[in-house]
A and B are shown apart, each in its own frame.
Chain A
């Protein structure tokens, strides 16, 4: 029971906050549709072709290809690693886990900056800077800690009795993992995939350091290069920014429920 006055002030405040958040975004969308290259809004003459022009001028097809290859490989590999290591720590137990588990967890707290410089020189000596393999390897390696932690939590929530009955039916560990544990942990896997996708797609720092060859750079770096080159063409730059944001925004809006539920269910389980 909330009084009418309280209710109104509630809405007013919320709307105020929402407007403050939306305004910069709407401004950019307005710029993206405007014919003016100097960033003046001209909403009387919407120019939808800006998106096409910007895409071509910025050479986004190549960047998009790189982003898709990098993000796709990273998410696939990270997910497999997360499932296997989570299963190892959460169900099978691991030889030396008193030492190994804290070492793996360390990666969650260790900032990338601590190892990025030596990593760059290591990769240089392996000859994998400026390659997809290099940046994918880096992303996957850095995702191991969180993945192991996350899936361990999910698998430990699976009732032991279910797995035991499967074991009595003669299922080996591999079958148990894929037939029993994984189906029950699906929401956690989905959340992990979503998070991994978002983080990899949005990454800038790692790609900035490890990939200086434009042919292998992801969209985030492409946008940076574009904003350097086309400083004057505000409408093109805005259109490019809108294009880059769309996939993630659509994904997050579509899966917001799973996202939050995944985080929540992961939280309740441990």
Chain B
């Protein structure tokens, strides 16, 4: 449940950026509540806290612990030290998966943000009629469950699907293929499906961010004779810094962990040409149990996620100064 979370915090920091006179220090914990009834507060928190500890904190701790063992889920576990972690360098499957993550960051994060930004800029111009319709249409894929997205794109890329029909009709039948079964093309094909699914959210968040930009800034830019493009780069883009760091965090984290769409279309294949770290984790954990190795992947994903979040937040903060 992370999508809106970050959006709130950063949009708030965006607000802080706007009144630049004094940048209030983060008052996360200190300012919370009046603190006069802390025991009562604990009582209110307790039910949620118990469930949270049971489902998240304890298993997370166990995951770290397990990652230092070799264990097949049945026989006695043996100490592995950092053996499961060195797999990231020595295991060709895992190395391949990590490489693919970079592709997924391009297709699930960079491209959707670029497209989302473009369509948000277009849809939120003044006097655009039917902007709401465009927005709903572009947001549509975001609402679909990954199981459905997978069905859709399997059809589009099928040997007798629309892409191949068009290729055959224009005399390029030689290029037609089952795109998701092709060693070279499966990965970019999946990437495009991911871009399609993700950029609606990017657009909606960008539009929200743009609505917070004071219209006087646009008027001023117009008076200065700025065209649509210069206006975008001098007013819109700087005003969106907070929003963009949110969107970037969300999508990059999504790209690092991608599972559903890949698992439901190619299962990481053909061969291992579309495998992702989470698929390796799933296979190690359940198909052919090497639970320590699976746990190690989980721990590395957590560490990378935290680092990515921190770096993006830090970057957007330092640019703001």
Contacts and interface: CB of A to CB of B under 8 A. Distances in A.
Nearest to A84: B44
B73 interface: yes
Interface string A101-123: 11110111111111111111110
Contacts of A152: 32
A160 B31 CA distance: 13
Contact of A270 (B3, B9, B302): B9
Contact of A104 (B8, B49, B309): B49
Nearest to B200: A21
A239 B200 CA distance: 24
B140 to A, nearest CB: 7
Interface string B239-279: 00000000000000100110110001000000000000010
Interface of B: 1-9, 11-12, 15, 28-29, 32-45, 47-49, 51-52, 54-60, 62-63, 66, 73, 115, 118-119, 122-123, 125-128, 134-141, 143-148, 150-156, 158, 160-162, 196, 200, 204-205, 207-208, 211-212, 222, 228, 253, 256-257, 259-260, 264, 278, 281-282, 285-286, 291, 294-295, 297-299, 301-302, 305-306, 309
9 closest A-B pairs by beta carbon, nearest first, are A141-B55, A93-B33, A267-B11, A92-B41, A115-B59, A93-B35, A118-B62, A146-B1, A81-B48
Contact of B41 (A95, A114, A196, A269): A95
A122 B59 contact: yes
Contact of A21 (B42, B196, B256): B196
B48 A21 contact: no
Contact of B47 (A81, A160, A199, A244): A81
A198 interface: yes
Interface in A1-52: 1-2, 6-7, 10-11, 13-15, 17-18, 20-25, 27-28, 31, 38-40
A223 interface: yes
Interface in A125-146: 137-138, 140-146
A14 B5 contact: no
A66 B253 CA distance: 29
B33 A107 contact: no
B270 to A, nearest CB: 17
B1 A118 contact: no
Contacts of B73: 121
B241 to A, nearest CB: 14
Contacts of A91: 33-34, 41
Contacts of B4: 146, 150, 191, 195, 263, 266
B1 A199 contact: yes
Contacts, number: 340
B265 to A, nearest CB: 10
B125 A205 contact: no
A48 B233 CA distance: 49
Contacts of B42: 88, 94-96
Contacts of B118: 13, 17
Contact of A111 (B15, B204, B253): B253
Nearest to A163: B34
Contacts of B9: 270
A213 to B, nearest CB: 15
A87 interface: yes
Contacts of B299: 114
Contacts of B285: 116-117, 120, 209
